[in-house]
Amino acid sequence: MANKLPNFSTADVSRIIEMAWEDRTPFDAIYDLYGLTEDQTIKLMRQEMKASSFKMWRKRMTGRTTKHKALRSPDISRAYCPTQYKRG
């Protein structure tokens, strides 16, 4: 059951992919918002991206401590830059 992905809207899939690409957004944040584990996020990325883009993303994310809350420095207390989501 853990490997089965829920059905997400196109907007949700787009946002999950965006969050997965962001250096400072941990997989825990994706889980908190969308209920996807790291393995499920990887599966979604594999399904939704071109193979070359997926390989580039995996290479970039492998070993990146900011993607795992437990490995992060305690100095990093937020998932994104305060100016990232500007409101009009």
Q: Which residues of 56-86 are buried (b: 16+ CB within 10 A; e: fewer)?
A: ebeeebeeeebbeeeeeeeeeeebeeeeeee
Is residue 81 domain-resident?
Answer: no
Asked whether residue 25 is assigned to any structural domain, the reply reads yes
pLDDT of residue 62: 82
| 32 assigned to some structural domain | yes
Range of the domain at 50: 10-71
**What average pLDDT score do residues 44-68 get?**
86
Does residue 86 lie in a domain region? no
pLDDT score recorded for residue 23: 80
Predicted confidence (pLDDT) at residue 86 exceeds the cutoff of 90 = no
Averaged pLDDT, 42-64: 91
Number of domains in the chain: 1
- pLDDT attached to residue 87: 47
- The answer to whether residue 34 is domain-embedded is yes
| CA dist., res. 20 & res. 88, Å (int) | 25
pLDDT average, residue stretch 53-59: 92
Residue 82 lies in a domain: no
Whether pLDDT at 78 is above 70: no
